[in-house]
Amino acid sequence: MAKRRMTLRVPVKRGDVLRRLTNHDRDTGALRRLRGHEAAVRQAEDPTANFYDRLGDTESFENYEQQSLGKEEEEDDWMNLLPPEEPDEIDKAIQSNLERLRQEALQVNWDSLLDSLHATYMTQKMRTKNWTTTKSYDTFNSCECVPQRRTIDLIDVYGQRREDFAFCSCTGDAIRLLQSGYLPGLPIRPVTAFSLPLLILHNSLWNHCNVGALPFMNALQEYLEPRSQRLKVQNSNHVCHFSSILLVNYENLSQLLWIFIRELEDRTARLMFSALRLTPQQILACQSCPACFGPEPSNRKVYPSSTKNRLIICLDGNFQHRHHAKASRDYDRIQTPNIFLPPSDVHKMTAKIRELERQKKPDDKKDRCTESHKAADDKQNQSTWKGCDDTGLMGCCCRHDNAIYMANISKSGEQRCFPLALIDRVLNDIEPDRPVGILYDIGCSLDKYMRIRNLMKEHRPRIQFATSVFHSYVHEWFCQVDYNPRLNTGWGMLDGEGLERMWSFLSRLIGPLRYSTRNHRLGSLAHLLKHHNSRSIINCLPRWLKRKFNNAIKRRRLVLKDLSELLQKRNPYSSSGRCYTRRFFRKQWEHQRKFKNESTADQEDRNEKLVSLCKRESAIEAMRKRLSESYQYFTDAEEVNKIFDKIRSEAEKLEQEWVDLTEGGHPAPDTYVEARTMGRHLGTKLQQKILKAIQGRRAAVNKLIATFNTTFEKYITKYPQQRVADQSSYPLTYEAFSKMPLDDKFWNDGLYYRSDAPWAIDSDVQSGIHGVLLLDRIQEEFELIAQELFRAMAWALALYDHLRNYITYIRTRANQLQEGESDVELDHIDGLDLGNCPREEKLRLINRELQSLLYDHGLLIQDWSLDIAWLWNQCEKMENGDGGDLLNRWVALLDQIVVDQHIHTSRRATHQATGVVEILEEDAVLGVHVDDGEGGNIASQDPNVEERGNGAGTENGEEGWEDI
């Protein structure tokens, strides 16, 4: 695309023009003297210039030049051979200061305008039904001032035009444009304005697609020019491009959307939360996940302690969402969105950790899990972070993959202050006695870190850590026994990889945000996370629970099938010759945990020394072999003797160390195998390399599989009497390897456990242990889903009643003010900031916004109804205790919503015919209801579908619900 150069006319004040005319002669003389001084300085610095000037005065040289160059002499007159002068540091500082002042002035102008702009925005949103009616572009202005017309470009979804817009002196230009349905590009004397429907359209496209501001404007211009007026530069025939207009007026469309979405809409949401007096947990239920932060179940006593009233969150870091320090110059202060932790919270946690370490220096031992986790080491990516001011993100999400809080990582790695600050914030926002499970890639290391330093000692009894399922292969077997969520109680079937899915959702912002401003980066991430929460969970939460419920049922059937085959086999460890039993498998699991607890740290240190000895022994053996083959290359006998003496000395040292470690005897075969495989433990140690190779080349995977088979064969050949944990994987093939699930015992079990117990050497016992533990996790999944269903339903009921009560309360106060009661006391609503609106106008605006929220919430409840009914029938425990009354309240609420919507839609009967679509008939024709592989699509099996139908869930426009 060809570049276009534009020349802008900057308006000059008349006083400046007169001053320039008066001082013209003096300024011209000063400029002439300055240029002469600069020429003299250049001539003094370059003495060769005088020499060439004198050569140019000779006649012979001049004639030669005229004969040889001919016509080129005329073309050389305009050429400037001097290199362009680079601006010095003072000029750069001046330009930087001017840019800083410009940005600060622009920000001050917007800040001073936002209060009144927000009140006008809420008023126009109420009048035009969020700019969806035919009155969206009407002028709602009762001013009687003499209009002051000024030319302005108005850009809309349906067309573009340049018109003489009528402004007035009593209303600001930005307010006047917003009253007509347009948002200005500048806070003062705007020359371009964009319609609210256009900004709403771009916001929807940006949420669902990877749409940039400039490509969107170029496409819009290409679409609008043939259908409307072609905008040209004033006093010129050149086409006026949207992208150029946008860059001149407000740098880019994203910053204009910042005013619309991240200021006006976010201010409205915060205003409603303040008007409703919601607690932090209630706000999390509305913005993050109602199934996790809804009201506490009244029937929680029927659930076991492992899952009763339990909250599960996930933590993870991401270092792809970084920001280059030189990408932008941010002169305004950093504005932290609500979903991000304030930097002060992270600083407080850092100071708290340092204070505890100052009081008592902890004895931190070397942690293998932390070393094997790449992101946990700050030094590995220092070269990547060198030019970045924001190096990544630390996220916290719930069990349903919904974002709770985020932390911005600045100029550091995955330090422990970030996850600790997130945990502290969540614990302070929820019930003080609620148990919390935390899934983290290095949860074992963080748990030990907190225990040693006695961090959050008031919350420690209700905190439990675990590692995510996919990252369990990084951890040792000793760590997996205590922190693998598949092997421990209270985790259900959660894999702990919700943040990995969220990073994938946010991946389209990685490239653009690396070179944006820091405020734009944080605002864009917060806005897309808000859309992610609203789209994926809040609107589809019962569907998510239904899918997880069906997945658990499928997994339970498979586990029961495999376990039934094991229970029919004879138990070789039973004296009575009986078959395997579940009780036997559970006892073996208890023996395994007991064996792990009896293993001391001294034994681990001893094994590490054995590894070092074996490596040194192999090196000496290699040296002996090389020397025996190349003795003919030594001509000096003394040199050969020195080398052999050195080898003999090292061998004696190794022998003494070997005796000390083995207490005078030979190591047992199990110890030898453990030493040989400690550094390359094919059950857990090489899995990170294997999974990384899968992404690249299959040949590399096959090579590692061959290494595994070779090592396994050497072991069983050297120790034929020893039995390993699982021989069913030998010989391993690529096809079998690629089909292994994430929780397969191949990933989580070691090759050998230094024990002859059945749990350590028998593959059938291993499979039985995994089977009974998986059945426990599946049962926990059912219990967690039942409690989450209760919380979601209770939240929907409570919020609907809360909205109705506050609407009634506001109308009562409005009636008192209209009747002229002067003694109406001030309340929290009067203290809300909404510009210069009087009390009655403020109540009216808040009332209409609450009515809109009530209408949307009613539609949400109707969308949930079918899945809620199916889940309620499946979760048997929901009928115990006080939970039985919840279903009756839910049915009564659905009836109330039908009545409320009938009142609302009675005034819009013309739209009634187009609001209903026969979904079941359409799906039958198109064949939509097919198995998608996840087992969540079973609506056709629901016997209640035909009975409940579509209810009253017709999508109509938002009215005010004045009659409620």
Query: Are the beta carbons of 681 and 724 closer than 8 angstroms?
Result: no
Between the two ends of the chain, the Cα-to-Cα distance in Å is 57
DSSP run (H or E) holding 195: strand 192-195
DSSP run (H or E) holding 203: helix 196-208
Give pLDDT, residue 724.
57
Beta strands in 267-385, from DSSP E residues, in sequence order: 311-318, 323-324
Residue 170: pLDDT above 80? yes
Residue 954: pLDDT above 70? no
Mean pLDDT of the region 670-696: 46
* One domain, residues 761 and 874: no
* One domain, residues 758 and 858: no
Confidence tier at 654 by pLDDT (50, 70, 90): low
DSSP run (H or E) holding 159: none
Query: Are the beta carbons of 817 and 843 closer than 8 angstroms?
Result: yes
Give pLDDT, residue 429.
94
Mean pLDDT of the region 776-784: 94
Mean pLDDT of the region 50-54: 47
Q: Give the Cα separation of 65 and 68 in Å (integer).
A: 5
Q: Is residue 66 classed exposed, middle or buried when 0-12, 13-18 and 19+ CB atoms within 10 A define those classes?
A: exposed
Q: What values do phi and psi take at 136, rounded to 5? A: -65, -30
Residue that wins the pLDDT comparison between 957 and 665: 665
Least confident of 8-12, 433-437, 813-817: 8-12
* One domain, residues 324 and 383: yes
Residue 127: pLDDT above 60? yes
The reply to whether 652 falls in a domain is yes
Least confident of 29-38, 195-204, 415-424, 657-666: 657-666
Indicate yes or no: pTM above 0.85.
Answer: no
Q: DSSP H helical segments within 46-88, as ranges? A: 48-57, 59-69, 72-75
Give pLDDT, residue 817.
86
Mean pLDDT of the region 952-959: 37
The reply to whether 647 falls in a domain is yes
Give pLDDT, residue 29.
78
- Residue 606 makes CB contacts below 8 A (sequence gap 6+) with 661
> Running DSSP on this structure, what letter comes out for residue 364?
P
Whether residue 304 has a cis bond before it, omega within 30° of 0: no
Q: Distances from the Cα of 626 to the Cαs of 619, 621, 629, 631, 633, in angstroms?
A: 11, 9, 5, 9, 11
The reply to whether 479 falls in a domain is yes
Residues across the chain: 964
Candidates 790, 776, 780; CA nearest to 878 is 790
Most confident range (mean pLDDT) of 75-79, 708-712, 787-791 is 787-791
DSSP-assigned states of every residue in 611-678: HHHHHHHHHHHHHHHHHHHSGGG---HHHHHHHHHHHHHHHHHHHHHHHHHHTTSPPPHHHHHHHHHS
Mean pLDDT of the region 933-949: 37
Least confident of 108-112, 481-485, 633-637: 633-637
Q: If phi over 0 gives left and psi between -120 and 50 gives alpha, with beta otherwise, what is residue 679?
A: alpha
Residue 36: pLDDT above 90? no
The reply to whether 703 falls in a domain is yes
DSSP-assigned states of every residue in 663-686: TTSPPPHHHHHHHHHSSS-TTTTT
Per residue in 546-577, pLDDT (tens digit) is 999 999 999 999 999 999 999 999 999 888 88
Give pLDDT, residue 91.
79
Give pLDDT, residue 911.
42
The reply to whether 61 falls in a domain is no
Confidence tier at 607 by pLDDT (50, 70, 90): low
**Structural domain tally of the chain?**
4
Confidence tier at 927 by pLDDT (50, 70, 90): very low
Give pLDDT, residue 956.
37
Per residue in 377-416, pLDDT (tens digit) is 545 456 666 788 889 999 999 999 999 999 999 888 788 8
Q: If phi over 0 gives left and psi between -120 and 50 gives alpha, with beta otherwise, what is residue 577?
A: left
* One domain, residues 823 and 942: yes
Residue that wins the pLDDT comparison between 315 and 595: 315
Give pLDDT, residue 577.
82
Residue 447: pLDDT above 80? yes
Residue 317: pLDDT above 80? yes
Q: What values do phi and psi take at 140, rounded to 5? A: -95, 75
Confidence tier at 586 by pLDDT (50, 70, 90): very high
Give pLDDT, residue 226.
86
Give pLDDT, residue 787.
92
* One domain, residues 576 and 472: no
Domain extent at residue 417: 310-390+411-425+436-538
Question: Side by side, which strands form the sheet with 182-184?
Answer: 160-167, 148-155, 192-195, 182-184
Q: Give the Cα separation of 867 and 789 in Å (integer).
A: 10
Amino acid identity, residue 751? L
Per residue in 288-303, pLDDT (tens digit) is 999 999 999 887 778 8
DSSP-assigned states of every residue in 713-725: HHHHHH-TT---S
Give pLDDT, residue 375.
53
Q: Give the Cα separation of 844 and 257 in Å (integer).
A: 27
Confidence tier at 922 by pLDDT (50, 70, 90): very low
* One domain, residues 804 and 761: no
What six digits make up the tokens of 568? 């029919």
Q: Give the Cα separation of 952 and 894 in Å (integer).
A: 9
Give pLDDT, residue 506.
92
Determine the 3-state secondary structure of 890 from DSSP: helix
Mean pLDDT of the region 87-105: 81
* One domain, residues 635 and 697: yes
Give pLDDT, residue 717.
77
Confidence tier at 628 by pLDDT (50, 70, 90): low
Amino acid identity, residue 575? S
Whole-number average pLDDT of the chain: 76
Candidates 279, 286, 299, 278; CA nearest to 790 is 299
Neighbours of 655 (CB within 10 A): 11
Give pLDDT, residue 569.
92
Give pLDDT, residue 454.
87
What six digits make up the tokens of 476? 């040792």
Give pLDDT, residue 34.
73
Q: Is residue 92 classed exposed, middle or buried when 0-12, 13-18 and 19+ CB atoms within 10 A define those classes?
A: exposed
Give pLDDT, residue 69.
43
* One domain, residues 643 and 520: no
Mean pLDDT of the region 777-797: 94
Quick one: CA torsion of 540, 546, 548, 549, rounded to 10 degrees?
A: 160
Amino acid identity, residue 567? L
Amino acid identity, residue 57? D
Place of tokens 């292969």: 473
Per residue in 499-508, pLDDT (tens digit) is 999 999 999 9
* One domain, residues 371 and 241: no
Q: Distances from the Cα of 181 to the Cαs of 87, 163, 806, 844, in angstroms?
A: 45, 15, 30, 20
Residue 938: pLDDT above 60? no
* One domain, residues 726 and 638: yes
Q: What values do phi and psi take at 226, rounded to 5? A: -70, -15
Give pLDDT, residue 239.
61
Domain boundary among 205, 231, 262: 262
Query: Are the beta carbons of 264 and 384 closer than 8 angstroms?
Result: no
* One domain, residues 747 and 797: no
Whether residue 731 has a cis bond before it, omega within 30° of 0: yes
* One domain, residues 252 and 331: no
**Rg of the Cα atoms in the chain:** 37
Query: Are the beta carbons of 409 and 393 closer than 8 angstroms?
Result: yes
Confidence tier at 925 by pLDDT (50, 70, 90): very low
Residue 525: pLDDT above 70? yes
